[in-house]
């Protein structure tokens, strides 16, 4: 288990609750890219796969938590995009 990997995931993860909150409150897709969000999810899935096959340890839970938060933000982006198209 690498302390640097833990710090990286904690730092990245700290931003997602704010992003989710802003997506929820604003109801807008402005300033967000669904391609970027999907790319991040692919990266977290790759990290999880690496942990499963090569170096399983508790850090996998940080990858999962971050993946869930990005997935929530992506779902909010899709909701907001649908709402924007209806107007």
| Spans of all domains in the chain | 3-86
pTM for this predicted structure: 0.93
> At which residue do the structure tokens 């999810």 appear?
41
* CATH class given for the domain over 3-86: mainly alpha
Residue 41, burial from CB neighbour count under 10 angstroms (0-12, 13-18, 19+): middle
Q: Mind listing the pLDDT tens digit for each residue in 17-57?
A: 999 999 999 999 999 999 999 999 999 999 999 999 999 99
What is the per-residue DSSP string for 27-62? ---TT--HHHHHHHHHHHHHHHHHHHHT--STTHHH
Contact 44, 67 (CB under 8 A): yes
Q: Mind listing the pLDDT tens digit for each residue in 53-78?
A: 999 999 999 999 999 999 999 999 99
C-alpha 5/C-alpha 74 separation (Å) is 24
């Amino acid at each position: 288990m690498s302390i640097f990997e833990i710090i990286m995931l904690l730092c990245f993860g700290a931003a997602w609750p704010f992003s989710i909150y802003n997506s929820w409150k604003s109801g807008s897709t402005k300033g967000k890219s669904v391609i970027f969000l999907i790319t991040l999810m692919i990266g977290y899935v790759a990290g999880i796969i690496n942990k499963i096959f090569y170096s399983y340890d508790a850090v996998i839970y940080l990858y999962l938590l971050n993946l869930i938060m990005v997935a929530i933000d992506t779902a909010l982006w899709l909701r907001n995009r649908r709402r924007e198209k209806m107007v």
